Amino acid sequence: MQIYPNPFKTNINVSAQNLPDKDISLNIYNMLGSLIYQTKPNVTNGNFDTNIDLSKLPPAMYVVKVISGDYVGIVKIEKH
């Protein structure tokens, strides 16, 4: 899983390859563990690439979690 840019100002791009399941959940949490964004990206052959507008969020650290079958990817991101 790749997330860029990091740190970011308005948008992030999230991409992943070779995921085990076509039913994917992409969640973003604040550092208190509260869910602040959730989506189900379109997956083609186990791959997806999506752009997310987070411009309304305040500058802080966030956690992006991608769940696909048994795979769980977690990445911390920072908004400036």
Please determine, looking at this structure, whether the domain spanning 2-78 carries the CATH number 2.60.40.1930.
yes
pLDDT band at 10 (very low <50, low <70, confident <90, very high): very high
The b-or-e profile of 29-40 (16+ CB within 10 A means b, else e) is beeeeeeeeeee
Residue type, 31: M
Q: Confidence class of residue 21 from pLDDT cuts 50, 70 and 90?
A: confident
pLDDT-derived band of residue 71, with 50, 70 and 90 as boundaries?
very high
Paired tokens of 6: 């990091």
Note the pTM of the prediction, 2 decimals.
Answer: 0.93
Q: Give the pLDDT confidence of 27-68 residue by residue, as tens digits.
A: 999 999 999 999 999 899 989 999 999 999 999 999 999 999
Tell me, what's the pLDDT at 72? Answer: 95
Q: At 63, phi and psi to the nearest 5?
A: -125, 125
- What distance in Å separates the CA atoms of residue 69 and residue 57, rounded to the nearest whole number? 29
Domain definitions of the chain by residue range: 2-78
